[in-house]
Amino acid sequence: MSVVPLTLTISLCLVFTFVIFFLCEHARGRLSSAERDSLLPLAEEKPQVVRPKREHDHDGCGCHDGRRAPCPGCLKCRD
């Protein structure tokens, strides 16, 4: 087997791969840059919203009619 066709085939595959990666990076370059991407780990995290603690729903528990003992939620609200 001749070495020249093998070398030429491998070289063309490498060139084709380089062109594909270059075009992908060039298209992505409009959205970001190397400098911006390198600073991403230092970006501030988005603050998480702390939701207020829900009060006990006294209407739905059914312990206010006097037939049952107060539920744990109503006992907690009393204290």
Q: Does residue 74 contact residue 58 with C-beta atoms inside 8 Å? A: yes
The SS3 assignment for 25 reads: helix
**Which 8-state DSSP code applies to residue 54?**
P
In angstroms, rounded to a whole number, what is the distance separating the alpha carbons of residues 16 and 10? 10
pLDDT greater than 80 at residue 70: no
Amino acid in position 50: V
pLDDT score, position 66: 64
Greater confidence (8 vs 62) lies with 8
Torsion of CA 32, 38, 41, 46, to 10 degrees: -30
Average pLDDT score, the chain: 77
pLDDT score, position 58: 60
